[in-house]
A = this chain, B = another copy of it.
Amino acid sequence: MTDLTCGVDVGGTKIAAGLVDEAGRISGASRVPTPAGDARALARAVAGLVRGLEADLAPGDRITGVGVGAAGFVDRTRSRVLFAPNIAWRDEDLRSVLEEEAGLPVVVENDANAAAWGEFVLGAGRDVDDLLLVTVGTGVGGGLVLDGELYRGAFGVAAEIGHLRVVPGGLPCGCGNLGCWEQYASGSALVRTAREAVATGDPGSSPLLERAGGAVEAITGPMVTAAAHDGDPLAVRLVTDLGRWLGEGIASLTAVLDPAVAVVGGGVSESGDLFLDAVRQGFREQLTGRLHRPELEIRPAELGNDAGLIGAADLARQRPRT
């Protein structure tokens, strides 16, 4: 008999779920579109996924709990989502609703926290006690494992590292502030700088424009990283600049947190050595006290898109605090 937990990753467009065993192996992965509407619609969709997984269980296996990773501020009790820009729940007691719908113990966690936990227990950080996860996607997300524990902060909203201010009077951020790190170091920043370069007639911009079929607005992050991978000089410069911004921010966070490893995940991080080398370069140049301290390692994430699902499932395996 195997005890499994169900990991759920709730994003703005789709909900992914799967069963996870103690070793992090996923079985029965499935997904549905994120329903529009209220928190109860969302809870029902999640419960539906869980029941589907339950129906397909091998004889003797059982599901002991559900872990949900969701974008947004999750409160300290891991029950409520306080604030989530793109999802329909707000200050709902999501855990109660889900437990009622699914008939299982539930734990709710911020998605980046769940991913950090996943990389900590089963991924790139499984050999250390202190880990900083940095995910480079639409924004810059983060998760912290400190002294072997997921660190949530006093109010449950720690590790919003993308909102470190890195440029006073800088680019406006969706959060309402100016100069947040994610405006310079995210996939969106890569797209923005690429489109700017092309729109203002950078002489090296024709290969990138060609990839986008001649339309500036069609340029995407993966196009830029692919072009960089192929050696296109403009794309190389854009990816390198992005990496330096990311590495410099990790240096600031290291001054504060002194983790053993920084794990870099998210789409852009999969673009390879060029990007990670630039991250390491930016980090090294900005690390305070370098040469006088042990230095953290910057490693690529290992679990890819499954990190959040695996991490959430593992958190459900532990007894949730109440």
Q: Which residues of A contact B (CB under 8 A)?
A: 73, 82-83, 128-130, 142, 144, 146-147, 149, 151-161, 163-173, 175-180, 184, 196-197, 199-203, 248, 251-253, 255-260, 281, 284-286, 288-294, 296
A216 to chain B, nearest CB (A): 12
Number of this chain's copies in the complex: 4
Contact B168 A169 (CB under 8 A): yes
Q: Using CB atoms, name the residue of chain B closest to A293.
A: B157
Supplied contacts A82-B292, A160-B288, A256-B257, 5 more A-B pairs, CB within 8 Å: A129-B154, A146-B146, A147-B151, A159-B258, A201-B291
Q: Which of A130, A177, A285, A294 has the most chain B CB within a 10 Å cutoff?
A: A177
Report the minimum CB–CB distance from A222 to chain B (whole Å).
23
Residues of B within 8 A of A173 (CB): 288
Q: Hey, which chain B residues are within 8 Å of A290, CB to CB?
A: 176, 200-201
- Given A168-B166, A288-B163, A288-B175, residue A153 in contact with residue B196 (CB < 8 A): no
**Which residue on chain B has the smallest CB distance to residue A83?**
B292
**17 A-B Cβ contacts within 8 A?**
A73-B292, A82-B292, A144-B256, A146-B146, A147-B149, A153-B258, A153-B259, A154-B260, A157-B289, A158-B257, A159-B258, A161-B255, A164-B255, A173-B288, A176-B199, A200-B285, A202-B281
Give the distance in Å from the alpha carbon of A166 to the alpha carbon of B167 in the complex: 7
From known contacts A171-B171, A255-B160, infer whether A83 and B155 are also in contact, taking CB-CB under 8 Å: no
Given A155-B260, A169-B170, A258-B153, the answer on whether A288 and B161 have CB atoms closer than 8 Å is no
**How would you classify the secondary structure of chain A's contact residues: helix, strand, loop or mixed?**
loop
Identity of the chain B residue whose Cβ is nearest the Cβ of A234 in the assembled complex: B281
A155 near B293: Cβ-Cβ < 8 Å? yes
Given A258-B152, A258-B157, check contact A289 B171 (CB 8 Å). Answer: no
- Which residue of the partner chain, among B73, B146, B176, B258, contacts A155 with CB atoms under 8 Å? B258
Contacts of A164 in B (CB 8 A): 164, 252, 255-256
Q: Which residue of B lies closest to A174 (CB)?
A: B288
Smallest CB separation, A322 vs chain B (Å): 16
Closest to A73 in B: B293
Q: Are B285 and A165 in contact (CB under 8 A)?
A: no
Is the Cβ of B200 less than 8 Å from the Cβ of A291? yes
- Chain B nearest CB from A224 CB (Å) reads 16
Complex Cα distance A231/B306, Å? 42
Q: Hey, which chain B residues are within 8 Å of A294, CB to CB? A: 154-155
CB of A158, distance to nearest CB on chain B (Å): 4
